[in-house]
Amino acid sequence: MKTFGLFAAICLGILLAGCDKNVVYKAYEDIDDGQWFIKNTPSFKVEITDSSQAYNIFYLVRNTLQYPYYNLYLTRKITAPDSSVTTNMEEVFLSNETTGKPFGKGLGDLFDHKIPFLKNHKFPRNGTYTFTLSQSMRQNPLPFIMGIGISVEKVENGK
């Protein structure tokens, strides 16, 4: 039954991604057995063809209800076309700290979160940008994280 829920969530995600004309890039990487090891650092290569365009960039996190924390510390590394690198660590919230109620959209015991990390961002130049994500929690492996990804979306009319 869990496999069916995962399959349904993936299909729903594909359908929804096809509906948004502003999405420039959207991808997930499944985390093997829902055990995210610190050494597992998914990378996403995004081709930017219009550096005058503003973009909103989001983390995509998929977890189960059994995830033992309300938050997640992520480290992101962005490698620009000129090989310059920026690295940031930040805390994102997956559920209410007091009630435990998930913030994401759920299907069964699986929840998808779309968390903004760069708003109205303009890339300095056209080319391929590589986003590399790693978990920075104290637990290794981090359980019940099923997938991680990013979405890059054009900002429309200053939104």
Residue 159 is assigned to a structural domain of this protein: no
Q: What's the domain range around 69?
A: 2-154
- The tens digit of pLDDT for each residue in 13-57 reads 555 544 578 999 999 999 999 999 999 999 999 999 999 999 999
What pLDDT, on a 0 to 100 scale, did the predictor assign at position 17? 47
Q: The CATH number of the domain where 28 resides is what?
A: 2.60.120
In a domain, 129, yes or no: yes
pLDDT tens per residue across span 72-117? 999 999 999 999 999 999 999 999 999 999 999 998 899 999 999 9
- Can you give the pLDDT at residue 159? 54
Question: Three-state secondary structure along the chain?
Answer: CHHHHHHHHHHHHHHHHCCCCCEEEEEEEECHHHEECCCCCCEEEEEECCCCCCEEEEEEEEEECCCCCCEEEEEEEEECCCCCEEEEEEEEECECCCCCCECCEEECCEEEEEEEEEEEECCCCCEEEEEEEEECCCCCCEECEEEEEEEEEECCCCC
Q: How many domains does the chain have?
A: 1
